[in-house]
Structure 1
Amino acid sequence: MSDRLTMLREGPVASTLFKLSAPAIAGMVVIALYNVADTFFVSLLRDTTAVAATGIVFPMFQLAGAVGLTFGMGAASVISRRLGEGRHDKAHQAAATALYSAVVIGGLVSAAGAIGIRPLLLVFGATETVMEQAVLYGRIIIGGSVFLMVNMTTNNLLRSEGAALYSSMGQILGAVLNIALDPVFIFVFDMGITGAAVATVIAQACSTLFLLGFYFRQRGTLQPLNLRHVRLRLATYRDIMTLGLPTFVRQVLGSVSFAILNNAAATFGDAALAAISITFRMFMLLMMGLMGLAQGLQPLAGYNFGARQIDRVRHTIRIVFASAVTVGAVAGLGSYIFAEQIMLVFAPQDMDVVAMGILSIRYMALALIPVGLVIMFGGVFQALGDGRSALILAAGQQGVFLIPLVLILPYLFGLQGVFAAQPAGFVLAFLVGLLLLRFTWQKLDVAALEAGKSTDFAG
């Protein structure tokens, strides 16, 4: 048994979770920094339409990333449980099938998105004044998004076998390159918003090659580059998609709801679009960090669930829930108090954007504890192979709740309704998640009894 698998089976739960989550959190925050960096450097152009354009493209960027996350997170859950069961051949098959599928589908999605960029931008809320800037930025970002998709898949494969530190090193490399290249392409080469897109794609390509290098050098337990392990079979894809589909549904519905949100904000002008863009980018830092914690949870909980070490699973879940509550409370209070200072960093030239952004940030700050717990609920469901609960939660959060709220609240409350829709959707999803969690806890009780172990945690 490798050292990484021994750590998952026998290492102290809290320290093992930290070892897995700290790099994952750093890596996910770094991914969010790609977009925050673009927004910051583009804001230095002193052009509100350029800032708004990055916000219009962002949900499309998310949608592209959803392809990689679907294959990556779906396969990662399968891999962790199969490694825990000692079925290494099935783990290899899930890894290779997911990676090569991401390469092929990612290439097709990138090409189609770049060619059809204008109608897509209209769907996602681009106004006439924003359109040309959004085309310049979006064509390159979406055209190069195959690197993002393969990156997301490889990232999750690495974490599934406990190689979280290497995974995060690749993400950090990409972010550092992006931050370094943004001002060079935007200002030195005088490419404007186009330069921000070029810098992002180059950084993602370098990060992806770095991650794949782990497997090129055969440093891992998995063998995802070996074509002999690819299984183009319904059963293989069913295993991956059972856990990957909730991620895809959540991301797709999130992009759709954000497109509707952009359209609603656009009725109040480009300043409202820019305020929404900045707010969402800032809170994506927090949400991506919490997703990193959920990613750290998945190999630890999934492996031990497969090995029927239920006490370790329960302990892991309790730690991540407590962490999400603490982070949500601290971040919510801080962002509520310092909302004006945050907005002045990104829009010092436009006080209308600042005023609207303060309101938007404060609405979101009130819901950060439910936001964190909803993300943890989804991580728990996926780690334990409960695709049904994960799908219900994802569909509820982004579809059943958020999309109707985005349509109804602006009609009733104007601009405040635009800003309140997303936090309200998270609160409702949190209530659904609590109900689903009861069934998950019962599932753990049954598994513990089957394994002949006590359901009470002893320490």
Structure 2
Amino acid sequence: MGGVVNIVLDPILIFVFKMRVTGAAIAHVCSQYLISMVLLWKLIDHVDLLPPNINDLQLGRFLRNGLLLLIRVIAATFCVTLAASLSARLGSAEMAAFQVCLQVWLSASLLTDGLAVAGQAILAGAFARQDYESAKETASRVLQLSLALGLILAFIVGLGLTFSSGLFTNDVKVSQILSLGIPFVAATQPINSLAFVFDGINYGVSDFRYSAFSLVLVAFASVACLLLLSSYYGFVGIWVALSIFMSLRAIAGVWRIGTASGPWSFLNIY
């Protein structure tokens, strides 16, 4: 529903009311508020938002975990924002091509969010019951599905962008630069899919601290790659650095589970 509202409001505010970027921003904010209100309305039917005892809210725990997730979001957003800034410095054509690639890249990758959220919910339930065998099976199956989905998306995105790039721009220079980013957008889909699903299953076992601080370290390394590679290789360098960023995120997830450390220590038994 929120997406539909965004799609309807975008052309009205951008073109009819001539609000351009401001209109796009207003449409996005309106859609997010609508989604929040719908979720809140549904939530009221299932839980007591104001329990009799304020201690039952466990505000300290929520604030602590919320802060950790905020740190993670800031680190990830900073890398993508820096990449956009660096592409803008290369020129308007590079910036336009980068935005097309970025939006397709993120849109396709975020399709795995549904899988990540489902895995997170199932894993959290099993982990809370201390049903570690089910938790292990859930994590394994979700990761298998994410890899398969990533490979499918790589094929669809690569083929789709190659033959339909004209839908995004009719500028020859932008199209030429866009063709340089297509291989990266397509080839990184399996990596992105795994990275997002690793996030979900780590949240499912309440591994928020590791998720936050591992991404901060990944962000530091990725920022260095962005600054270095963009200065030498321009547009291609930016996409190489973003590919490194997502690869490091996936590796961080593999390492946590592969070493059976933190909440995943039960894997040493099962």
Which among 240, 255, 266 is matched to residue 435 of structure 1?
255
Residue in 2 aligned with 1:407? 227
Measured in 2, the distance between the counterparts of 1:432 and 1:214 equals 35
TM-align CA RMSD: 2.7
Measured in 2, the distance between the counterparts of 1:391 and 1:401 equals 15
How do 1:162-201 residues align onto structure 2 when only pairs under 5 Å count?
Answer: 173-201=1-29
Residue in 2 aligned with 1:371? 192
Residue in 1 aligned with 2:59? 236
Which among 166, 175, 187 is matched to residue 344 of structure 1?
166
Alignment pair present for 1:355 and 2:173: no
Which stretches in structure 1 are left out of the alignment for 5+ residues? 1-172, 450-454
Residue in 2 aligned with 1:223? 48
Are residues 259 and 206 of structure 1, via their aligned partners in 2, closer, same or farther at CA, if it must alter by over 3 Å? closer
Alignment pair present for 1:203 and 2:15: no
- 4+ long deviations beyond 4 Å: 227-233, 441-445
Are residues 261 and 229 of structure 1, via their aligned partners in 2, closer, same or farther at CA, if it must alter by over 3 Å? farther
Aligned-pair identity (%):
20
1:106-159, CA deviations, whole angstroms, 9 ceiling, x for partnerless residues? xxxxxxxxxxxxxxxxxxxxxxxxxxxxxxxxxxxxxxxxxxxxxxxxxxxxxx
Residue in 2 aligned with 1:425? 245
What's the offset of the Cα at 1:448? Answer: 9.0
Q: Which amino acid letter does the alignment assign opposite residue 228 of structure 2?
A: I
Are residues 208 and 229 of structure 1, via their aligned partners in 2, closer, same or farther at CA, if it must alter by over 3 Å? farther
Which stretches in structure 2 are left out of the alignment for 5+ residues? none
Are residues 427 and 236 of structure 1, via their aligned partners in 2, closer, same or farther at CA, if it must alter by over 3 Å? same
CA contact (8 A) 2:132 2:266 kept: no
Residue in 2 aligned with 1:41? none
Measured in 1, the distance between the counterparts of 2:267 and 2:256 equals 17
CA contact (8 A) 2:150 2:192 kept: yes
What's the offset of the Cα at 1:355? Answer: 1.7
CA contact (8 A) 1:364 1:420 kept: no
What's the offset of the Cα at 1:335? Answer: 2.2
Residue in 1 aligned with 2:108? 286
TM-score (norm 2): 0.87
Are residues 241 and 291 of structure 1, via their aligned partners in 2, closer, same or farther at CA, if it must alter by over 3 Å? farther
What's the offset of the Cα at 1:409? Answer: 0.8
What's the offset of the Cα at 1:279? Answer: 1.3
TM-score (norm 1): 0.53
CA contact (8 A) 1:186 1:196 kept: yes
Measured in 2, the distance between the counterparts of 1:318 and 1:430 equals 15
CA contact (8 A) 2:226 2:242 kept: yes
Residue in 1 aligned with 2:211? 390
3-state SS, counterpart of residue 267 of structure 1: helix
CA contact (8 A) 1:320 1:376 kept: yes
Measured in 2, the distance between the counterparts of 1:301 and 1:437 equals 14
Measured in 2, the distance between the counterparts of 1:193 and 1:431 equals 36
Which among 322, 339, 344 is matched to residue 144 of structure 2?
322
Residue in 1 aligned with 2:154? 332
Residue in 1 aligned with 2:201? 380
CA contact (8 A) 2:109 2:189 kept: no
1:374-400, CA deviations, whole angstroms, 9 ceiling, x for partnerless residues? 222222222112233322432233x13
What's the offset of the Cα at 1:441? Answer: 7.0
Measured in 1, the distance between the counterparts of 2:228 and 2:53 equals 49
3-state SS, counterpart of residue 414 of structure 1: helix
Are residues 198 and 322 of structure 1, via their aligned partners in 2, closer, same or farther at CA, if it must alter by over 3 Å? same
3-state SS, counterpart of residue 90 of structure 2: coil
Q: Which amino acid letter does the alignment assign opposite residue 222 of structure 2?
A: L
Are residues 192 and 413 of structure 1, via their aligned partners in 2, closer, same or farther at CA, if it must alter by over 3 Å? closer
1:209-246, CA deviations, whole angstroms, 9 ceiling, x for partnerless residues? 2222224xx410x222x27555599x733x22554344
Are residues 442 and 267 of structure 1, via their aligned partners in 2, closer, same or farther at CA, if it must alter by over 3 Å? closer
1:76-134, CA deviations, whole angstroms, 9 ceiling, x for partnerless residues? xxxxxxxxxxxxxxxxxxxxxxxxxxxxxxxxxxxxxxxxxxxxxxxxxxxxxxxxxxx
Measured in 1, the distance between the counterparts of 2:244 and 2:137 equals 30
